[in-house]
């Protein structure tokens, strides 16, 4: 955080955590018109609105997926968007027809195929076993903010484990 604050840039970080020391802006689902515009920024071929709307709904208007699927669809000259949507519905992002190179934004020299790139965003290899366990437990809860004392109860945290639990939460927040 200190490094980011030292930059003369405006930095947007996304997280379900709500760090007290950062300005928080709540982001909602991308409006449908913006989602269509974002897709069409990277996909130049003509398409039917109903197909595009269904595809965007299928991926829950997820901005990164919109961009990646639009770029992959633009590269794939063999199939139109309707066919790509059918492939997505049947095989999801693992479909071999969609595995074009995707460059990582931070390190442009590094690239992965679409599905491998998406998996790399959820790489847990640098997490401790406790951090992985707590992430699993959080995945079972509805997405909202919780008082830490309630989490002690929900997760069965004993009094002598509370400090370790809070430190693990801090570590997870830092790791994103």
The pTM for the full model equals 0.52
Three-state DSSP state, 153: helix
Residues with Cβ within 8 Å of residue 42, at least 6 apart in sequence? 67, 70, 71, 74
Q: What percent of the chain has pLDDT over 70?
A: 71
pLDDT digits (tens, 9 = 90+) for 105-131: 544 445 566 666 666 666 677 788 888
Can you read off the two tokens belonging to residue 11? Answer: 């930095």
End-to-end, the C-alpha distance of the chain in Å comes to 12
**Left, alpha or beta for 62 (phi > 0: left; psi -120 to 50: alpha)?**
beta
The predicted pLDDT at position 46 comes to: 76
154-170: average pLDDT:
88
Give me the sign of the Cα torsion angle 87, 91, 93, 97: negative
Strands (E), 49-107: 101-103
Query: pLDDT of 9-39, one tens digit each?
Result: 666 666 666 667 677 777 777 788 888 888 8
Position 110 scores a pLDDT of: 55
| Residues 9, 70, 26: CA angle, nearest 5 degrees | 45
Average pLDDT, the chain: 76
């Amino acid at each position: 955080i200190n490094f980011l604050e030292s930059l003369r840039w405006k930095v947007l970080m996304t997280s379900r955590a709500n760090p007290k020391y950062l300005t928080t802006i709540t982001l909602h689902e991308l409006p449908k018109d913006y989602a269509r515009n974002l897709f069409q920024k990277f996909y130049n071929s003509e398409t039917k609105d109903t197909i595009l709307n269904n595809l965007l709904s299928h991926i829950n208007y997820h901005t990164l997926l919109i961009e990646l699927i639009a770029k992959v669809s633009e590269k794939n000259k063999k199939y139109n968007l309707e066919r790509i949507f059918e492939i997505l519905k049947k095989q999801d992002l693992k479909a071999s027809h969609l595995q074009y190179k995707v460059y990582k934004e931070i390190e442009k020299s590094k690239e992965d195929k679409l599905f491998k790139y998406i998996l790399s965003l959820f790489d847990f290899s640098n997490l401790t076993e406790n951090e992985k366990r707590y992430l699993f437990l959080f995945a079972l809860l509805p997405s909202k903010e919780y008082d830490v004392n309630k989490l002690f109860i929900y997760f069965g945290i004993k009094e002598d484990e509370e400090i370790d639990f809070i430190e693990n939460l801090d570590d997870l927040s830092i790791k994103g």
